[in-house]
Amino acid sequence: MKRRALTVAAAVLLAVGLTGCANWGAPDSASSPREGRVTLTYSNCGYGTCVYDWKVCVGPDLLMHVNDQDHWIRSSEECS
């Protein structure tokens, strides 16, 4: 019984490891960073990579999340 449980657990971990992230479709995206998070690039891991780049206004500043790194643009024209 333990062996079967380990086999099932290993299969699940392998499947999750191969996808790397959820395959639930792109998150909702606002049309303007002033209204909420705008999706720039999205991949649901169907091609072996997981990408979710976005931008959003935080007050007058623009926060961009690209390649798993955050970048700030202070006093951005997009957010004014």
- Listed in sequence order, the residues at least 6 apart from 70 whose beta carbon sits closer than 8 Å to its beta carbon are 63, 64
Parent domain of 35: 2-79
Q: pTM (2 decimals)?
A: 0.65
At 16 the pLDDT is 41
The answer to whether residues 55 and 38 touch, using CB atoms and an 8 Å cutoff, is: yes
User: Which one, of 7, 5, 41, 13, lies nearest residue 26 by Cα?
Assistant: 41
pLDDT, tens only, 16-75: 444 445 556 778 899 999 999 999 998 877 666 788 999 999 999 999 999 999 999 999
Count of domains for the chain: 1
